Amino acid sequence: MAAITAGSMKSISIVSTLVDAAVAFARGRRKDGLLLVVAAALSSRVPGLGTLTSVALRIARRLR
């Protein structure tokens, strides 16, 4: 079994944020999708930013 490293977790976080962005675009949420794409791009510099943004958007949608 392969070991999970910090680099692989970072990559998984970026990919999952991009998947969330694609889903947002598909559902017609252009602003959310754009925000998630930007967060995924910045995740390479700030670890966890994409995941934090994704979770924050989900919470905001629930509260609307």
Q: Where along the chain do its domains lie?
A: 7-63
Predicted pLDDT of residue 4: 74
Segment (H or E) for 23: helix 6-26
Going residue by residue through the chain (64 aa), what tens digit of pLDDT does each one get?
A: 567 787 777 888 899 999 999 999 999 999 999 999 999 999 989 988 998 999 999 999 999 8
CA distances from 27 to 10, 38, 40, 45 (A): 26, 18, 19, 28
Which three-class secondary structure state does DSSP give residue 4? coil
Q: Report the alpha-carbon distance of residue 43 to residue 24 in Å, rounded.
A: 18
Say how many C-beta atoms besides its own lie within 10 A of residue 2's C-beta. 5
Predicted pLDDT of residue 56: 95
